[in-house]
Structure 1
Amino acid sequence: MNISRTVSRAATAAALAAALSMGAIQSATAAPPVERAGTARTVNAPVSAPVFKEPLDDGGWTGDGLSLNAADNAKVDAFIDRAKKAERSISPQVRTAALLSGAELIGFDHRLKSADSLKRKVATSLLEHPGQQVNDALAGISDSVRYTLQWPEGHYTEGVTIAASLLSTWRNDNTKWSNTWGRAKGYKAINSAWRAPRSEHLFEVQFHTPASKYAQEATHKLYEEQRLPGTTPERAKELQAQQDAIFAAVPVPAGADRLTAPAPLVPRLPQPSLRPQPVG
């Protein structure tokens, strides 16, 4: 029996119980995923409860106190269509990277961000940045197509290195690398964003251990409430403290805090001709 693994899960569960006692989480009690190394395995996460929304008569969108007018809503719908097309060429590469690095591919059925979630994100950005255009808000979204790769703690650092190197080798341009394993508080994992070579569409890949993924799912409702425009600063501070308590119990894999993005590939330059060039 792996005592350290049992202890780490117990610590995470204890932190979750503490947050529950503060009245933070209603239903985040699912057991952490079983660790399994070797071949890639697809694990589908539970589907979140639908968010209340209603279509506007003029073709706009509204939900959770947010709204998009008809013109902006149409632009988001067009962006969603582009994401669906881009996913067709992105997914085979991500699945292969998972297989070759021994990762589990978590939540693959939900690799496309839902329309309501995407529209809520755009509407929040427009609300927080007065004068921002919807196309600018969409340009900053990297998770309309998203994936989660997961390795056991003992294989995490090597697995991330292999998977990220493969994505880079296949000409995906790394545009974001957020490694939070070294933080004293809060979310622990690596969130990366890439630009696909064919479609030039941005996509997200999160690199997790079972414990960090469990903590992410346990704190998801807290994070969503924290991001709502109507959440008071006092309540937001409480929600952050509850998230910190859960992530504090997540073990940090050896070397994970030092993982960096793969070096950009040097473009292949044309070779000079070996034939003598005419003079004059």
Structure 2
Amino acid sequence: MNDDELGWRGQGPEAHLSLTAEQDRLVRDLWDRAAQARPALDGTMRLLRDQSAERGSALVGDEKANGIEEVGHSLKGLDSLRRKVAVDVSRGADVGRVLGRVNDLNRYTLTFEPENYAQATQETYGRLKALGYEPVPGSEKNTWQDPAYKGINTTWQQQESGQRFELQFHTPDSFQAKTDNHELYEIARSGHFEQMSAGQPERARQYHQAADLLQNERYRNVVVPTGNEAIGEQKIRTVLKPEVPVERVQEVRAAEAKLKERNAGKAAERTALPQRAERESGRGQDGRSAGVQSRLDALRAKSERPSQAQGRSTAQTRQNKAPAQNQHRDTQRDPRRAGRQQGPER
């Protein structure tokens, strides 16, 4: 693919992924539609959270109390969508069909305490249906018995508009484990293990199996809520392989640590940008930025010194003439005095 045809290319572990300009246009069009739907869906999710307050509910990413209007992460990142599409396209899939299967551009997570989880989830189901939403057939995946990912994932569709969104149901602890495993999930889905294996399928399988073992470690102390089995289709996607060579586990740990560091750097940069912009947009009394204002003040003071000197009376100048001449002679004898005496004038 030449530069004219290239629309997007991944970075880091995903540098092997790419989209043509036309494929990228289709991706951006779908993403734009999800961005337009976001405000209304954010409001619906806040309503559902508030209606379950007595169950200890929380809407992950909601900071409206701090003045932030959008629910955090309720719109999948554009590059994240690009990566997801590029992985399937790299395996021969048609971009149109791939985009037609995307259900999680708008996505939300509700958490409930384990003792309230099953009842609160079922109540939320009922409220969504009353609002005109229905689960997309086959989308209700209950993986509480899976060793590498625990929770309930669903996709809902508004019957009139056809707008879809993903809704995950977690406990606080299962969501934390999922968050801790995020980089492992990113690496596994991106095809990076296949790149690491240098064309050796068995080694690639071992990398995936090592990632499953590492993810399972973080779920060991997560309480499985009673009654969850009545919700959705029970799915066990992963069978652990404890016999994976230790060196494969170590290599996966290293890849995860590297990506965590990279993601942390990106997050720090995103946080720093608004702070930097706020500092740079500080205003002086006349509306100029603080930095520009200080430089103008210095220039103004410098330009005012000659006029102040010229404004002195002739009598005052004659009166000071002789001392000035004496001072000049003294300065010639000892130049260091000039620096001390001129200091306040600088």
Establish whether residue 164 from structure 1 lines up as the match of residue 136 from structure 2: no
Contact 1:106–1:148 (8 Å) recurs in 2:
yes
TM-score (norm 2): 0.56
Between Structure 1 and Structure 2, the one with more strand by share is 1
Could you tell me which of 140, 143, 160 is aligned with 2:101? 140
2:87 paired residue number: 124
CA drift of 1:97 comes to 1.1
CA drift of 1:233 comes to 1.9
Alignment partners' CA distance in 1, 2:79 and 2:39? 21
2:224 paired residue number: 252
Specify the code of the residue in structure 2 equivalent to 1:214. Q
Establish whether residue 215 from structure 1 lines up as the match of residue 187 from structure 2: no
Establish whether residue 202 from structure 1 lines up as the match of residue 195 from structure 2: no
Q: Percent identity?
A: 32
1:85 paired residue number: 36
Specify the code of the residue in structure 2 equivalent to 1:161. Q
Question: Where does the alignment leave 5 or more consecutive residues of structure 2 unmatched?
Answer: 62-70, 194-203, 234-346
Specify the code of the residue in structure 2 equivalent to 1:247. Y
Alignment partners' CA distance in 2, 1:208 and 1:253? 10
Q: Could you tell which deviates more after superposition, 188-197 or 226-235?
A: 226-235
Specify the code of the residue in structure 2 equivalent to 1:147. Y
Alignment partners' CA distance in 1, 2:165 and 2:48? 14
How many residues in Structure 1 have an aligned counterpart in Structure 2? 203
CA drift of 1:257 comes to 2.3
Query: Matched residue of 1:110: which SS?
Result: coil
- Please list, as runs of the form range in 1=range in 2, the aligned pairs for 1:105-120 lying within 5 A after superposition: 105-107=59-61, 108-120=71-83
Instruction: Give deviations 1:237-279, integer Å, cap 9, x for gaps.
Output: 1111111222232111111122238xxxxxxxxxxxxxxxxxx
CA drift of 1:153 comes to 1.4
Question: Where does the alignment leave 5 or more consecutive residues of structure 1 unmatched?
Answer: 1-55, 262-280
CA drift of 1:57 comes to 5.3
CA drift of 1:58 comes to 4.6
Contact 2:6–2:19 (8 Å) recurs in 1:
no
CA drift of 1:119 comes to 0.4
Query: Matched residue of 2:225: which SS?
Result: coil
TM-score (norm 1): 0.69
- Please list, as runs of the form range in 1=range in 2, the aligned pairs for 1:186-197 lying within 5 A after superposition: 186-197=148-159
2:9 paired residue number: 62
CA drift of 1:127 comes to 1.8
The structure showing larger relative contact order (alpha-carbon pairs under 8 Å, at least 6 residues apart) is 1
Establish whether residue 225 from structure 1 lines up as the match of residue 190 from structure 2: no
CA drift of 1:59 comes to 5.7
Instruction: Give deviations 1:64-87, integer Å, cap 9, x for gaps.
Output: 120000000000000011111222
Instruction: Give deviations 1:102-141, integer Å, cap 9, x for gaps.
Output: 220002221000000000000111123x1x2212101111
1:99 paired residue number: 50
Give the aligned CA root-mean-square deviation in angstroms. Answer: 1.6
Alignment partners' CA distance in 1, 2:206 and 2:5? 37
CA drift of 1:229 comes to 1.4
Contact 1:86–1:199 (8 Å) recurs in 2:
no
Larger radius of gyration: 2
Alignment partners' CA distance in 1, 2:6 and 2:192? 25
Alignment partners' CA distance in 2, 1:86 and 1:133? 25
